[in-house]
Amino acid sequence: MSSKDNTEQKRGSAFGWALFGGSAIGVFGLGLLASSISSRRAESDVARVAFTSEIPAWEADNAKWGESFPREYNSWEATKAMNDNTKYGGSGHRDYLEDNPKLVIMFAGYGFSKEFYQARGHFHAVEDVTNTERVGENTPGTCWTCKSPDVPRVMDERGGPADFYSDKFMALKSEIKNPIGCADCHNNETMALQVSRPALAEAFERQGKDINKVSHQEMRTLVCAQCHVEYYFKGKEEKYLTFPWDNGLTVENFEQYFAETGHVDWTHAVSGAKMVKMQHPDYEVYMQGVHAFQGVSCADCHMPYKSEGGVKFTDHKVQSPLYNIANSCQVCHKWSETEVKDRVTSIQDKNREIQTLVEEAITRAHLEIGDTAKAGATDEELDEIRKMISLAQMYWDYVAANNGMGFHAPQETARILGKSLNFAKDCRIEIVKLRAGMGLGDYTLPDISTEDSAKAFVAGTIEAKKAAAAPSESKAS
- Of residues 220, 359, 405, the one with CA closest to residue 300: 220
Complex with ligand HEC: residue 155 or 182, whichever CB lies closer: 182
- Whole-number Cα distances in Å, 186 to 196, 197, 286: 8, 12, 23
Stretch that binds ligand HEC, among 52-60, 250-258, 279-287, 369-377 (CB under 6 A): 279-287
Contact 316, 327 (CB under 8 A): no
> Cα 204 to the chain's mean position, in Å?
19
Q: Is 303 in the site for ligand HEC (CB under 6 A)?
A: yes
How many residues line the site for ligand HEC (CB under 6 A)?
Answer: 79
Which residue has the closest beta carbon to ligand HEC? 89
Q: Is 239 in the site for ligand HEC (CB under 6 A)?
A: no
Q: In angstroms, what is the minimal distance from the CB of 277 to ligand HEC?
A: 16
Q: How far apart are the first and last CA of the chain?
A: 88
Stretch that binds ligand HEC, among 162-170, 178-186, 249-257, 412-420 (CB under 6 A): 178-186
Please report, as residue ranges, which positions from 404 to 433 form the binding site for ligand HEC (by CB under 6 A): 404-405, 407-408, 410
Complex with ligand HEC: residue 261 or 346, whichever CB lies closer: 346
Contact 366, 102 (CB under 8 A): no
Q: Is 296 in the site for ligand HEC (CB under 6 A)?
A: yes
Complex with ligand HEC: residue 334 or 343, whichever CB lies closer: 343
Length of the chain: 477
Please report, as residue ranges, which positions from 209 to 238 form the binding site for ligand HEC (by CB under 6 A): 220-221, 223-224, 226-228
The residues, any chain, with a CB within 8 Å of residue 61's CB and separated by 6 or more, are: 178
Stretch that binds ligand HEC, among 135-143, 163-171, 234-242, 299-307 (CB under 6 A): 299-307
Q: Is 231 exposed, middle or buried (0-12, 13-18, 19+ CB in 10 A)?
A: buried
Q: Is 166 in the site for ligand HEC (CB under 6 A)?
A: no
Complex with ligand HEC: residue 30 or 434, whichever CB lies closer: 30
Complex with ligand HEC: residue 150 or 368, whichever CB lies closer: 150
CA angle 425, 428, 419 (to 5 degrees): 25
Q: Is 282 in the site for ligand HEC (CB under 6 A)?
A: yes
Q: Is 187 in the site for ligand HEC (CB under 6 A)?
A: no
- Of residues 14, 7, 2, the one with CA closest to residue 331: 14
- Whole-number Cα distances in Å, 34 to 171, 291, 292, 414: 46, 11, 11, 27
Complex with ligand HEC: residue 273 or 329, whichever CB lies closer: 329
- Report the distance separating Cα 20 and Cα 22, nearest Å: 5
Q: Is 153 in the site for ligand HEC (CB under 6 A)?
A: no
Please report, as residue ranges, which positions from 77 to 96 form the binding site for ligand HEC (by CB under 6 A): 86, 88-91
